[in-house]
Amino acid sequence: MIARIHGLGKIWQEALRKPPTYVIEVISERYDKLSEKDKEKTLIHELLHIPKGFSGGFRPHRGYISKERIEKLHRLLLKRRSLKSEE
């Protein structure tokens, strides 16, 4: 495991009067050794676990998170980054 995502459970959200909150934990012994490209892909993977409605739950891998989807989003990130640097 390189990284994982944690969420504030519904009961804690209500008790603390907080909105859905997510934290991405990286395992530095592994994450730090990755290339910048692989670090970005790792974070994209973890972000894909957050549901569209930001409801506090998680999306599973099956049917939503795949290497192809991560690659596609990473290419989009690189494209947008290069367009922004041209401005």
Q: What is the per-residue pLDDT for 52?
A: 87
pLDDT at residue 84 greater than cutoff 80: no
Residue 75: per-residue pLDDT: 98
Q: What is the DSSP letter of 6?
A: E
pTM: 0.87
Distance, CA of 75 to chain centre: 15
Q: Is-contact 51 34, C-beta < 8 A?
A: no
Instruction: Please write the tens of the pLDDT for every residue from 31-63.
Output: 999 999 999 999 999 999 999 888 778 998 898
